[in-house]
Amino acid sequence: MSAQATTVVPTAVPEQLLDRFGRTVRDLRVSVTDRCNLRCTYCMPAHGLAWLPGPQLLTVAEIARLARLAVERLGVERIRLTGGEPLLRRDLEQIVAALSALRTRAGAKPDIGLTTNGLGLDKRAPGLRAAGLDRVNVSIDALDPRQYAALTRRDRLDDVLRGVAGAQAAGLAPIKVNAVAVPEGLEERAPQLAAECLRRGWQLRFIEHMPLGPRGTWKANDVVGAEQVLAVLRRAGFALTPVGRPDRRPAALWEVAAGTGPDGADYPAGRVGVIASVTAPFCADCDRTRLTADGRLLTCLFSAAETDLRGPMRAGADDEELLRIWADSAWHKPRAHGMNDPRSPSEFTAPARTMSAIGG
């Protein structure tokens, strides 16, 4: 991996999505909707957002076509469906089935994941599993119903827990739990979550709060960094040993020794993770690219630039033309998001869209 940009722009359609800094895309995040049934404080304003009109969303066939190009022509190996809340798409099972029919260069089914708030997951999990879904990440910020309702602005914790249990029963594994490390109630929330996730066999990852929510709600000084999250867990008695970032994935992991949780009940040994996008960015290892629900490519969550694939696709572009547009967009991926880099603050401009509209 080189940190030096090369200036030669690819002319022919490449067989991989490469950028100027030597990175290769293997992981595609597809947002299937910008709508949501929660209003998490760090993600959306209380009144919601102006949703995209239905005709602007990519159809199942359009998602399937772009995913086919990504997997069969551009070397993508993993696809994660996200949103907004992806379970709000009634045709999500059809989308998963279409992705599941694809084959990577190595002849394998792509790994298909879903990031969801878990509402209604119990009813959908068997069908999604049968369609070819491999794994789920469920967002649960708190296990106390009042804290959960305060953070998501909806009193739905029981429904979410039912959803995760349904996913587990349907054989979706591993189950990962995402919790945003906002400071509100963290001293209580983090140990409760860690103990319960270890007991249930769920892999918990705290995510540092990124400036991608409603305008004006993020302050650099309020960011709870990985070290602070670990300090909270240690104060609550968790014995943690660093593992690092296996396979250069975003989550840094710690081994947790078996112990007793804040409720007095034991938990087994396991692991906990932190995604330190703000305090320890992993841009140099990033192998992701994103497709929004309305068919725009974003090379980075923080990207201010978007490349339209839906327009050319609906205007009749053939596969080669779409591949060229995609490869050109990938080539111009910035070196880093620049959010925390005092040497290059000008490289960071908050994107026009917020998290739910990008696809987290």
Binding site for ligand SAM (CB under 6 A): 36, 42-43, 82-83, 85, 115-117, 139, 178, 180, 207, 209-210, 212-213, 355-356, 360
Give the start-end residues of each E strand in the chain: 27-31, 78-82, 111-116, 135-139, 175-180, 203-207, 240-244, 251-256, 259-260, 266-267, 270-275, 288-291, 296-298, 307-308
DSSP annotation of 262: T
The yes or no reply on residue 39 touching ligand SF4 (CB under 6 A) is yes
Return the number of the residue (278 or 322) whose C-beta is nearest ligand SF4: 278
Residue 44 interaction partner, one of ligand SAM, ligand SF4, none, beta carbon < 5-8 Å per kind: ligand SF4
Query: Which residue, among 105, 261, 274, has the nearest Cα to 191 in the 3D structure?
Result: 261
Burial class of residue 310, CB neighbours in 10 A (0-12, 13-18, 19+): buried
* Piece in contact with ligand SF4 (CB under 6 A), picked from 10-18, 38-46, 98-106, 304-312: 38-46
Classified as helix, coil or strand, 296 is strand
Contact 289, 299 (CB under 8 A): yes
The yes or no reply on residue 192 touching ligand SF4 (CB under 6 A) is no
Residue 355 Cβ vs ligand SAM, minimum distance, rounded to whole Å: 4
Residue 10 Cβ vs ligand SAM, minimum distance, rounded to whole Å: 31
The yes or no reply on residue 43 touching ligand SF4 (CB under 6 A) is yes
> By CB under 6 A, what part of segment 320-339 binds ligand SF4?
none
**Dihedral sign for Cα atoms in the order 323, 328, 331, 337:** negative
In sequence order, what are the residues at sequence separation of 6 or more whose Cβ sits closer than 8 angstroms to the Cβ of residue 231? none
Task: Select from 17, 25, 30, 44 the one that contacts ligand SF4 (CB under 6 A).
Answer: 44
Cis peptide before 174 (omega within 30 of 0): yes
Residue 39 interaction partner, one of ligand SF4, ligand SAM, none, beta carbon < 5-8 Å per kind: ligand SF4
Residue 20 Cβ vs ligand SAM, minimum distance, rounded to whole Å: 27
Task: Select from 25, 30, 102, 117 the one that contacts ligand SF4 (CB under 6 A).
Answer: 117
Return the number of the residue (180 or 330) whose C-beta is nearest ligand SAM: 180
Residue 82 interaction partner, one of ligand SF4, ligand SAM, none, beta carbon < 5-8 Å per kind: ligand SAM
* Pairwise CA distance, residues 305 & 290, whole Å: 12
The yes or no reply on residue 351 touching ligand SF4 (CB under 6 A) is no
Q: Quote the crossing angle between the two packed helices 145-152 and 157-169, to the nearest 10°.
A: 100
The yes or no reply on residue 40 touching ligand SF4 (CB under 6 A) is yes
b/e per residue 224-249 (b: at least 16 CB within 10 A): bbbebbbebbeebebebeeeebeeee
Contact 204, 274 (CB under 8 A): no
- Output the CA torsion 157→40→305→299 (10° steps): -30
Residue 260 Cβ vs ligand SAM, minimum distance, rounded to whole Å: 28
Return the number of the residue (20 or 189) whose C-beta is nearest ligand SF4: 189
Residue 218 Cβ vs ligand SF4, minimum distance, rounded to whole Å: 14
Residue 212 interaction partner, one of ligand SF4, ligand SAM, none, beta carbon < 5-8 Å per kind: ligand SAM
Classified as helix, coil or strand, 154 is coil
Q: Residues touching ligand SF4: how many (CB under 6 A)?
A: 13
Residues near ligand SF4 (CB under 6 A) = 36, 38-40, 43-44, 83-85, 117, 139, 355-356
